[in-house]
């Protein structure tokens, strides 16, 4: 299947840069704000760009078989289900940070290893399965589940955009997420696990060594299947990876900008780009994670994060903090005076 | 003269870190937000810290003799006076960015090389002189002017704090500012001019070489006088440097946090620390400038900038964009759920 991804409007980008050059400041003195202002103009096809008033964070929650043994994470798998309730209560990190910029947070139980019968139906609308296979010994997903999760992610993007979103931020929650994300980045980019694995939520060097070993075993098991993105996700990924990839591709199809967060959404972005190479033009990087795999993914995507605040929380918590910078970029273009009008 | 600088409250800082450790997140996962939240608690002596609702940017505007020849800047000196009017019209870069965070901007004509008779009296309340001497051939200031400017800067901080400011950001405007700031940083830290000089508002390599030469001549002329901070400012600085230093010291005396911006306020901070070493504990760095002198100054001050957006505008435009991060730091401490309350 191919996807019709709109191009960015290069005429609007040039027009924006001309306008920036005429503002009351030295040429280029607003640094990244200028680049982002011009990018937003190119994305919206207008100078100035539209306001970014309706920002949505969608947190994809799921568990992983690899976390069952406690070998790869500092936290027990049961935490994922508990955190879904925290998101619903509005007291997670990303809930708090999203409120600071007026963004909404939606959490989706895509593959939490629990039956969350008491949560609202809309939270479970994209549920694919409970947990995933432990990638070192078996496939993460059953045949067909990756495609179903991808389609579910596309529908979520359509829902959000249909109800008015003008900026999307995919978040992630799941004990074991950095292991799966690292496996995907290593597989897509052909890197040794030891290069991409970090310390996740806070494991020690022995924990890190186990994580590297898990990923190497998983890749050996997956073999050549990793060259097909859906097979890759089936073998080494998770339902959340596929759903996030679908979300990213559909945002691009609809021409809505996305701000990527940490290592998990960036790994999903690498997968999404394998599925729809032109989708990447609609994505920005919000925040540099402390995970090496994210740095490799961003380099491959040609993206430079807006912020580097040392967060390693996931949830979309880094990316949502980049929203004020994007709004600043629009504001300077819109509100600053012009050199030509100087007394 | 010595200054009574309050200590930060280390008990509040520890209490804040304990509270952070109990939030629904991995230990340390909020990175810089945790460090800043704990710092704000230490500054305010309370957990959580008070809101940062009343943020003030004070732009110190002045001219320099070294800019007269056109040798060190890409822009003519007359621009400084024009920019004072732009600040008053609310259309400068920092005006726009300050509005985004609800901060107020006050511009002060400390040493603009013009008689700005038509601007409000409060803008001229701290005027010391028109321009300054060209530091490569003569002192920047007459005897006594550095002390007068320093006292004026202290009064400005008192005014702002007295009327409710809970966060101060010193901004700068002045053609030739990066030359003077670089000279001060080189002199205080004992570095060759060639190490600290950058490209300012956009000069070429020949312009940069002239700037290095100007600074080396100035330092040779000043000799050993640079070991006294007021003599240093008299010989190599400017009225704005002294005023900004006074502003920084008085904020610390009053126990009000300051966010430093680019190379000029950071050079003034180095001078201020020579005058009142303990004042530095009240300062944060908001934004990394593209000027090497700022990097040296920050390293000497032990400060790591919150943002790195590639701006080289001055005015406080980088630092004011760090305000949302400080507010985020307070918000997570205040609003996030606790691990102990998880189902």
B105 and B155 together in one domain: yes
Q: Is B26 on the interface with A (CB under 8 A)?
A: yes
Residues 43-72 of A with CB under 8 A from B: none
Q: Domain of residue B34: give its range.
A: 10-50+329-341
Residues 274-313 of A with CB under 8 A from B: 290, 306-313
Cα A272 off chain centre by? 10
Residues 84-103 of A with CB under 8 A from B: 85-86, 89, 91-93, 95-97, 99-101
B77 and B218 together in one domain: yes
Catalytic residue from among B142, B278, B315, B335: B315
| Residue A166 in domain | yes
| Residue A5 in domain | no
CA–CA gap between residue A112 and residue A63 (Å, rounded) = 5
SS3 at position A133: coil
Residue with tokens 């795999």: A293
Whether the Cβ atoms of residue A233 and residue A146 lie closer than 8 Å to each other: yes
Q: Could you give the residue numbers annotated as active site of A?
A: 315
Residue B343: the pLDDT is 63
pLDDT per residue as tens, chain A (343 positions)? 899 999 999 999 999 999 999 999 999 999 999 999 999 999 999 999 999 999 999 999 999 998 876 667 778 888 999 999 999 999 999 999 999 999 999 999 999 999 999 999 999 999 999 999 999 999 999 999 999 999 999 999 999 999 999 999 999 999 999 999 999 999 999 999 999 998 877 888 998 999 999 999 999 999 999 999 999 999 999 999 999 999 999 999 999 999 999 999 999 999 999 999 999 999 999 999 999 999 999 999 999 999 999 999 999 999 999 999 999 999 999 999 999 998 6
Q: What is the ipTM of this complex?
A: 0.97
How many domains is chain A built from?
Answer: 2
**Contacts with B95 from chain A: Cβ below 8 Å:** 335
B79 and B40 together in one domain: no
| Residue A109 in domain | yes
Residue B304: the pLDDT is 98
Report the residue of B19, B67, B86 to disrupt the A interface, i.e. the one with the largest count of A CBs within 10 Å.
Answer: B86
Residues 190-249 of A with CB under 8 A from B: 201-202
CB contact under 8 A, B32 and A311: yes
B16 and B146 together in one domain: no
B298 and B335 together in one domain: no
pLDDT along chain B (343 residues), means of 10: 95 98 96 98 98 98 85 82 97 98 98 95 96 96 98 98 98 95 98 92 88 95 96 98 98 98 98 98 97 97 98 97 98 97 80
Q: Is A106 on the interface with B (CB under 8 A)?
A: no
B38 and B131 together in one domain: no
Sign of the Cα torsion B7, B10, B15, B21 reads: positive
| Residue B231 in domain | yes
**Contacts with B112 from chain A: Cβ below 8 Å:** none
**Contacts with A202 from chain B: Cβ below 8 Å:** 26-29
**Contacts with B324 from chain A: Cβ below 8 Å:** 100-101, 321, 324
| Residue A2 in domain | no
B103 and B24 together in one domain: no
SS3 at position A322: helix
Q: Is B263 on the interface with A (CB under 8 A)?
A: no
CATH of the domain at B29: 1.10.1610.10
pLDDT in tens, A215-238: 999 999 999 999 999 999 999 999
Q: Which residues pair with B169 in a beta bridge?
A: B57
| Residue A3 in domain | no
Q: Is B239 left (phi over 0), alpha (psi -120 to 50) or beta?
A: alpha
| Residue B37 in domain | yes
CB contact under 8 A, B337 and A89: yes
CB contact under 8 A, B86 and A201: no
**Contacts with B331 from chain A: Cβ below 8 Å:** 96-97, 99-100
N- to C-terminal Cα distance for chain B? 58
Active site residue B315: yes
| Residue A46 in domain | yes
Q: Is B121 on the interface with A (CB under 8 A)?
A: no
CB neighbours of B48 closer than 8 A, spacing ≥ 6?
A: B16, B37, B41, B330, B333, B334
Q: Shortest CB distance from A202 goes to which of B27, B97, B337?
A: B27
A110 and A70 together in one domain: yes
Q: Is B125 on the interface with A (CB under 8 A)?
A: no
CB contact under 8 A, B325 and A309: yes
Q: Shortest CB distance from A25 goes to which of B93, B310, B335?
A: B93
Whether the Cβ atoms of residue A289 and residue A197 lie closer than 8 Å to each other: no
SS3 at position B258: strand
Whether the Cβ atoms of residue A101 and residue A320 lie closer than 8 Å to each other: yes
CATH of the domain at B267: 3.40.50.10210
B195 and B306 together in one domain: yes
B21 and B166 together in one domain: no
- The radius of gyration of chain A's CA atoms, rounded to the nearest angstrom, is 20
B250 and B301 together in one domain: yes
From the number of C-beta atoms within 10 Å of its C-beta (0-12, 13-18, 19+), residue B224 rates as exposed
B16 and B106 together in one domain: no
CB contact under 8 A, A96 and B331: yes
Q: Is B322 on the interface with A (CB under 8 A)?
A: no
**Contacts with A23 from chain B: Cβ below 8 Å:** 93
Shortest Cα distance from A292 to chain B (angstroms)? 16
Q: Which residues pair with A62 in a beta bridge?
A: A111
Whether the Cβ atoms of residue B111 and residue B130 lie closer than 8 Å to each other: yes
**Contacts with B24 from chain A: Cβ below 8 Å:** 83, 86, 91-93
**Contacts with A95 from chain B: Cβ below 8 Å:** 335
Report the residue of B332, B333, B338, B339 to disrupt the A interface, i.e. the one with the largest count of A CBs within 10 Å.
Answer: B332
């Amino acid at each position: 299947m191919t996807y019709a991804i709109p191009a960015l409007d290069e005429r609007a980008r040039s027009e924006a840069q001309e306008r920036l050059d005429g503002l009351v400041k030295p040429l280029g003195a607003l640094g990244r704000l200028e680049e982002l202002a011009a990018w937003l103009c190119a994305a919206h096809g207008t100078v100035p760009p539209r306001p970014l008033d309706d920002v949505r964070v969608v947190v994809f929650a799921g568990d992983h078989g690899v976390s069952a043994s406690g070998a790869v994470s500092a936290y027990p798998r049961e935490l994922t289900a508990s955190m879904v309730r925290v998101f619903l209560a509005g007291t997670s990190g990303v809930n708090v940070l999203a409120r600071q910029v007026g963004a909404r947070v939606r959490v989706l139980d895509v593959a939490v290893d629990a039956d969350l019968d008491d949560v609202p139906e809309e939270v479970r609308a994209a549920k694919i399965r409970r947990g995933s296979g432990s990638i070192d010994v078996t496939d993460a997903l059953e045949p067909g589940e990756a495609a179903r999760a991808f389609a579910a992610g596309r529908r979520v993007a359509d829902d959000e955009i249909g109800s008015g979103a003008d900026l999307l931020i995919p978040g992630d929650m799941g004990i074991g997420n950095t292991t799966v994300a690292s496996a995907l980045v290593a597989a897509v980019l052909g890197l040794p696990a030891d290069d991409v694995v970090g310390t996740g939520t806070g494991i020690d060097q022995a924990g890190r060594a186990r994580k590297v070993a898990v990923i190497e075993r998983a890749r050996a098991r997956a073999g050549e299947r990793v060259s097909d993105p859906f097979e890759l996700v089936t073998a080494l990924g998770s339902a959340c990876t596929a759903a996030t990839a679908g979300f990213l591709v559909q945002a691009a199809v609809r021409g809505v900008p996305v701000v990527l967060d940490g290592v998990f959404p960036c790994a999903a972005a690498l997968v999404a780009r394998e599925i729809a190479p032109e989708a990447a033009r609609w994505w920005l990087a919000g925040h540099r994670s402390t995970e090496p795999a994210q740095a490799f993914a961003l380099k491959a995507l040609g993206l430079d994060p807006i912020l580097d605040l040392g967060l390693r929380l996931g949830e979309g918590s880094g990316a949502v903090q980049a929203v004020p910078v994007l709004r600043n970029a629009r504001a300077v273009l819109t509100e600053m005076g012009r050199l030509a009008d100087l007394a």
